[in-house]
Amino acid sequence: MDLISRGYKIIAVDGTVENPLSSDFSGNYIFIQSNLGYDDSDSTISLSELYKRLDFKVFPELALIDIEGHEYDLLVNEWPLLSSSRQVVIEFHGLELLYDLRFQKIFLQILNSIMRTHAPIHVHGNNSGHLLNLSGGFFPTILEVTFLNRRTETLQNSHDYGPFPGPLDYPNLIDKADIDLSAFFGPDCSYLKIVRMLIDESLALRSKH
């Protein structure tokens, strides 16, 4: 509602809910009752099909991707469509599968593709998922990451140590505490070093096979 009031055009795509806004916003709000996905279901639509239907002339300034696990298919197949967006927020699900070499390979390929055009500027752990115990550091199985296009003038080449969560964050489930990510993204990043070591070991194991 705040973005609409500021003159931004909002396109909401969700096949799991009814249109949440019934008022007339003079074309600044479009609701499409479909799910972004890549199966043969009549209830799903791909990003390229969505762009074609809406006859996009300009790519979205902000793309919010929260599609319950289908983000990997979207990012593998259609990241070039999103890469022109100024800001992309992605909710990564199923991070407990990072132990699986196939998923790990796909996930790292996706991150490498994103990092060519965008830089991460914010992270938030979704407390509706579970926590992975990594040698005493607890990492969420659902992570929300905000990426900013590297061509953006406001992007600075500096490291933000948080805190995460910060003053703009709030827990996804209000009856559970938010997730402290300082062990992975704080100044010390001690557990981040452990995670990188585990990834390196997995890659070395894969290369042997």
Q: Which residues on neighbouring strands pair with residue 145, listed in sequence order?
A: 90, 123
Question: What is the DSSP track for 18-87?
Answer: --S--S--TTSEEEE--EE--SS-TTEE-HHHHHHHHT-SS--SEEEE--TTTHHHHHHHHHHHHTTSSE
Query: What's this model's pTM, rounded to 2 decimal places?
Result: 0.84
CB atoms within 10 A of CB 108: 13
What per-residue confidence (pLDDT) applies to 98? Answer: 83
| pLDDT above 90: percentage of residues in the chain | 40
What is the spatial distance between Cα 29 and Cα 206, in angstroms, rounded to a whole number?
48
61 phi/psi in degrees, rounded to 5: -65, -40
**Contact (Cβ atoms closer than 8 angstroms) between residue 90 and residue 144:** yes
15: which residues sit within 8 A by CB, 6+ positions away?
33, 34, 35, 43, 44
Rounded distance between C-alpha atoms, residue 88 and residue 105, angstroms: 22
Least confident of 110-124, 153-167, 190-204: 190-204
pLDDT in tens, 90-108: 999 999 998 888 998 999 9
Residue 195 above 80 pLDDT? no
What is the sign, positive or negative, of the torsion defined by CA atoms of 85, 38, 172, 12?
A: positive
The pLDDT confidence band at residue 190, using thresholds 50, 70 and 90, is: low
Q: What's the pLDDT tens digit per position in 129-141?
A: 999 887 667 889 9
Q: What is the pLDDT of residues 11-68, one digit of tens each?
A: 999 998 899 887 777 678 889 899 988 877 778 899 889 888 888 766 788 999 998 8
Quote the tokens at residue 94: 């199923």
Domain boundaries, given as residue ranges, for the chain: 2-208
Residues 6+ apart with CB under 8 A from 128: 142, 172, 173, 176
Rounded mean pLDDT, 171-178: 94
Q: How confident is the model at residue 196 (pLDDT cuts 50, 70, 90)?
A: low
CB 71 within 8 A of CB 107: no
Say if residues 147 and 200 touch (Cβ distance below 8 Å).
Answer: no
Cα–Cα distance measured from residue 185 to residue 78, given in angstroms and rounded to the nearest whole number? 28
